[in-house]
Amino acid sequence: MPNFERQELSGVIVVDKPPGITSAKVVARVKKWLKARKAGHTGTLDPFATGVLVCCINRATKLSRFFLHGKKKYEAVLHLGVETDTQDSTGIVTNVCHNVEFSKKTIESAFKRFEGNIQQLPPVYSALKHKGIPLYKLARSKKPVQKPARQVSIITLKILEIHPPFIRFEVFCSAGTYIRTLCADIGASLGCGGHLKELRRIESSGFTITDAVTLEELEDLTLSEKLSDRLISMSNALKDMPEYIADKVLVNKINHGYIITKNDFMAEKINAFEGFIKIVDTNKTLVAVLKHAKDKNRYDYCCVFNS
């Protein structure tokens, strides 16, 4: 009888999420088509938004923690002069201003003020929780809760097109940044208000839109049994993490949970491994992710993938 555990697919699929569907429903479809035991995404996109949704399949769900706090890049459209209660195009209009004709210099100056580390108030319509209840549920029941401002990082903010009342821009930012709040804040700084009209994520934790497949393409790949063409292996998914190719002795020690120290690595490699390390075997299959224990000679286990 075949061993399902050994035959199952594990890795990362990057989906180009279409509009009008939740991230959870995208993952449910992926899980169904791949007949996966487990699947999860590494960062929600609002239903109206599109773009990069990183989906971890089966054993790769253990890697989600390494992608959740990765940087994101978006293309977005700011609609000046119209404010909504949700700060995006799905909300109820709360204020309208017809004076939205600004010089290019004025708009560029307003955008410039939001580059760097900034304080941002999370929207009251968000998935953040208050006493276990999502804020958007409280807001919809007319009991909005405003969470305190928190620091986010706007690494780059580039204007792509200006066609009043619309401004298309690109933003590269830290995880946890709300682009709709950024739009509302830029609109407020110009004195006319504004909201997020369109949002497309083009990069997340190093995965780009060129890595992505549409749901239609994914279904076709599954039916034609060519899914492996787009499945990113677990070791390749951790592309920015230092790699160590382990011999059979080290692989065996890891699989049996033995304490791993610097003495288990080649001498010339020791100093390179001060943070997370991905351990792969000679076939480049991910064996484990370890982390150096500060002020100690050993490495702690983060996750292990026994063969």
Single pTM value for the model: 0.90
Q: pLDDT tens digits, residue range 55-106?
A: 999 999 999 999 988 999 999 999 999 999 999 999 999 999 999 999 999 9
pLDDT of residue 232 exceeding 90: yes
Half-sphere exposure of 250 (CA within 13 A, CB side): 21
* Mean pLDDT, range 252-258, rounded to an integer: 93
**Furthest-apart CA atoms within the chain: distance in Å:** 72
Q: Mean pLDDT across the chain, nearest whole number?
A: 90
Q: pLDDT tens digits, residue range 177-213?
A: 999 999 999 999 999 999 999 999 999 999 999 999 9
Q: Among 46, 85, 88, 211, which one carries the catalytic annotation?
A: 46
The answer to whether 242 and 272 are in contact (CB under 8 A) is yes
Place of tokens 């497309």: 200
Is 46 labeled as catalytic in the residue annotation?
A: yes
Q: Which residue ranges form the domains of the chain, and what is each CATH number? A: 4-70+207-236 (3.30.2350.10), 72-198 (3.30.2350.10), 241-304 (2.30.130.10)
DSSP symbol at 213: B
Half-sphere exposure of 184 (CA within 13 A, CB side): 21
